[in-house]
Structure 1
Amino acid sequence: MHIRLENKTAVVTGSTAGIGYAIAKGLAAAGAGVVINGRSQARVDQAIKKLEGELKELDRGDSGSIRGVAADLATVDGFKHFVAEAPQADILINNLGIFEPKPYFEIPDEDWERFFQTNVMSAIRMSRHYTPGMVDRGWGRVQFISSESAIAIPTEMIHYGMTKTALLSISRGLAATVAATGVTVNAILPGPTASEGVSQFVDDLARDGNKTREQVETEFFEQVRPTSLIQRFETVDEIANMCVFVASEQASAITGAALRVDGGTVNAIF
């Protein structure tokens, strides 16, 4: 199977690092024009430079154009600025998200609101803006990057799990809203992934506990995610591979789905 996305424009939120960056790279390598997003211009410029260099090393002269828009999509003003700069897209990847381990009884109202605005409302605003244009053109792909935490709510960060469950509801409802239009809408559910934030978290635990990174990873999967069938952190590219496929023409019959790329962490058949 050869995935080609020439003449398609993809918007990937929160894509200066981690899973979002890997998705942007995969889409660009498949020929799509990609709009990278981050909160600061410096991070956006750095990501564009890095991505252009990596595509050159891959000898992908047929990769799509790459540009970026610096905007905080957790805010209405940031959203308005972004869509003014990039008004149209054929592929929307709602990847922006934050996480923070914190005991339930210590999570204040402000944290619940901050997580909801960042992880949920950003995706609502973006999909509400871009999806109608896809419907009008008769082709489009919308993806919500959820998490295995949407199903197996982590007690160490319930506020995060709540937002990821919300994305499943939005994704399924939007898929039904645009049924039979040529636009597909899906949720992607990664498992524990060695993204930039998670890697830093693991490194901090290793330093504080005077352990190696490998020891921390082993203990994490023994004690926190024992149901994982691969017993390791996934790579960002493993998540991106699913996203690129779901964005392709070959995935035109996949819509309204919650697609798990969780390393078997959720102990369920469905």
Structure 2
Amino acid sequence: MLFGFAQACCYDMLALEAAGSGDGEAETRHRRESAEAMWRAAHYKSRVIGGKKIPAEEFVEARLKEVFHHFGVRYPKEKTFDTFESAPLPAEGGASLRNLVSIGILELLAAFNLMHRVPQGDLEKHLATVEETLKNSSEASGDSSPKSKKKKMAVGYTAVVPRAIKANMLCRIGTRREEAKALLESTLEVSHKYKGSHCSLSWIVPHMLYEKAILAATEGDKEAMKSLLKKAREHIAGTVLLNAMDVRLHLTDYGMEVPLLH
């Protein structure tokens, strides 16, 4: 399930690149490939180990259901643990299926605590992509506030998630930590509304609190670090990636995790 979803996210990135270069044919092809990968991913069962869902699959399943609901496509009921032989995309809305976060592969790196593995040069290139995404989101929304519930939720995918990704990236660029702290704070202010294990955006709050705690630790403020880690633990209940974040907090509490900042 995770790999199928990640594949769809990669096709989305290729579509963005094609759109930026003016290659409409390639963009259309990659959008179709993204939809097909999303359709395949939705046909895999999420696994349970030790009575708990695998965190990555829990996140992916929540996002897939949101995607299908958004595009008006019925979410598959028949699931398999085995390789899924792709069936034709649904006639109604199937070809439109794609991650509601256009830079989804970067979201996976941030949400799964993998951003520190990205080389610094590549990190700054990806940061430019995130900033362009935020700029486009701002221009698309204009000055009007979204009124419908669906539109309000869409802002989370197009604006809040990219902000969280950017904050995560800035934490790993030593010369921009002050900017990172400000963005972490402002992202927290707009993301508290996203709650529950069925909301794929609920990963943001505990992760932003965790990043703030690590920054506090690098500055030698242990009390602030402890306070922020406590808040993060209070916010993980009922969120996607709960088990993964719980492990990170547990390791940090016992001083076994080295802050991955440069």
By the TM > 0.5 criterion, same fold?
A: no
Bigger helix fraction:
2
The TM-score with structure 1 as length reference comes to 0.31
